[in-house]
Amino acid sequence: MEHVPARQTIDNDINAYQIVKMAGTARLATSPTNGETGGGGRKRPAQTGEDDDEGGDRPLTLNTLLAALKENREEIVAQVREDMDSLANRVTTVEQQVDTHVGNTTKLLEAMTDRHCAMEHSVRQVDSRQGEILQRLDLLEGKFAKANFSLSSTRTSDSDGGNPRPALVVGGWSADQHHEETLQLVKQHLQELEVKLDLDKAFVPGLRRGFALIPLTKMEGETDEDQRARVQDILRTVRAAKIITGQRPEGGNRYFFAALSQSPERRKRAQLAGKVKRLIIEEGGDVRKIDVEYGTANLWYNSVKISSGVTSAPDGATTEKAGWVHLGTLARQIGIAEETASARWDELRKALN
C-alpha cells in the first residue's frame, strides 16, 4: 500500500464526509416510495430497475463512501501507530542514554568522595602526629625544667676557693659572630627578661662565638636548694620567651637559649650525635625512627645502632674524637649509597671539636 501522509489523508476524509452529507440531503429531497403525488392526486409510476441501469455508470452511494472512509481510517490508524512506535523507541533510547550518563556521573562522584575521604584521613593523621610531637616536646621541656641539676658538675675556668663554679651557657647566634656583639645581646635580652643573674661576670670564651658564659654565684642568704630553684626559673623564663635571634643556614629560626654548662666530653658526644642525626634527616631518613642519647652519643635508627660515644667501635665504623659512627649501616638503613653518606659526613665532621 502506498504511504499517504497523515495530513493529506485527513483532508481526503473531510472531503468524503462532505460528499456523503450532500448525498444524504439529495435523498431526503426525493421520496423513497414508488412515485410522488401530483397536482390532481395521481401517483407517478415507479421506475423499474432497468430504467436505473440506463443511466450509465452506477451512482455514488453512501455505502461506497463509508467503505472508502473506513479504508482511509485504517491507513490513518496504521500511520499513527507507526509514529507512536517510532516515538516510543526514541524515548527509550533517550532514557537509556540518560541512565548511562547518570550512572557515570554517580561513579565519578563516588570516586571523588573516596579521594576526599582519603585526603581528610591523611590530614587528620598529620594533625595527630603533630599534636603528639608537641606533647612530647612539652613533656621534655617540663622534665628539663624540673630536673634536679647537679650544679657542682658544671664549672668555668676559674674557681672560688678551690671549688668548681657552675655556669650558664646563654646564646643563639652564629658561631662567627664577634664576641662583643654576642655579649651585648646576651645582657640586653636577660635584662629585658628581668632574671636574677649577676651579668657583670658574663664573658664570651673566644673572639667569635655565638654564646656567652655566666658564672652562677649564690645570692645573699641563698641555700643550694634555693639556687637550683632560681636557675630552673631562669631556664623556664628564657625558654618561654622564644626570642628569635636570626635564621639558620638550612632554614628556620634561631632562638635565644639558656642551659647549664656541661663537661667538654659530654658536649663533644652530644655534638657527634647531633651531626649523625642531621646526616640521617638530610639524606631522607624518617625522624620518627631515630632514637638518640646526646649525653652518650648513642643513636639508633630503626632499632639499629648507628653511633656511640661510650661503646667500642665495630668493624667498618668511622672513629671520631668523641666516639664512632658506622656509615655503612647508616646508608643501608636509609637506602642510600655508602659513598654518598661518606661524602656528606666529611662535610659535617669539620664542625666537630
Among 3-7, 59-63, 94-98, the range scoring the smallest mean pLDDT is 3-7
* Tens of pLDDT, residues 72-116: 888 888 888 899 999 999 999 999 999 999 999 999 999 999 888
Please give the pLDDT value at position 31: 41
Please give the pLDDT value at position 41: 43
Average pLDDT, the chain: 79
Residue, of 245 and 162, whose pLDDT is higher: 245
Residues 6+ apart with CB under 8 A from 333: 285, 301, 302, 304, 306
Please, what's the largest Cα pairwise distance for the chain?
178
pLDDT confidence bin for 154, thresholds 50/70/90 = very low
What are the angstrom distances between the C-alpha of 247 and each of 190, 256, 339?
20, 12, 31
* Tens of pLDDT, residues 264-316: 788 888 889 999 999 999 999 998 999 999 888 999 999 999 999 988 899 99
Please give the pLDDT value at position 51: 46
- What one-letter code names the amino acid at 211? F
Three-state SS for the chain is CCCCCHHHHHHHHHHHHHHHHHHHHHHHHCCCCCCCECCCCCECCCCCHHHHHCCCCCCCCHHHHHHHHHHHHHHHHHHHHHHHHHHHHHHHHHHHHHHHHHHHHHHHHHHHHHHHHHHHHHHHHHHHHHHHHHHHHHHHHHHHHHCCCCHHHCCCCCEECCEECCEEEEECCCCCCEHHHHHHHHHHHHHHHCCCCCHHHCECCCCECCEEEEECCCCCCCCHHHHHHHHHHHHHHHHHHCCEEEECCCCCEEECEEEECCCHHHHHHHHHHHHHHHHHHHCCCCHHHEEEECCCCEEEECCEEEEECCCCCCCCCEECCCCEECHHHHHHHHCCCHHHHHHHHHHHHHHCC
Please give the pLDDT value at position 127: 83
- CATH fold, domain 147-261, is Alpha-Beta Plaits (3.30.70)
Instruction: Determine contact, residues 273/293, Cβ cutoff 8 Å.
Output: yes
C-alpha cell, 175? 658561631
pLDDT confidence bin for 134, thresholds 50/70/90 = confident
Q: Output the pTM of the full model.
A: 0.38
Please give the pLDDT value at position 175: 87
Closest CA to 69 of 102, 33, 21: 21
CA 134 to chain centre: 21
pLDDT confidence bin for 32, thresholds 50/70/90 = very low
**Can you tell me the mean pLDDT for 244-252?**
85
- What one-letter code names the amino acid at 44? R
Please give the pLDDT value at position 44: 45
pLDDT at residue 157 above 90? no
Please give the pLDDT value at position 137: 73
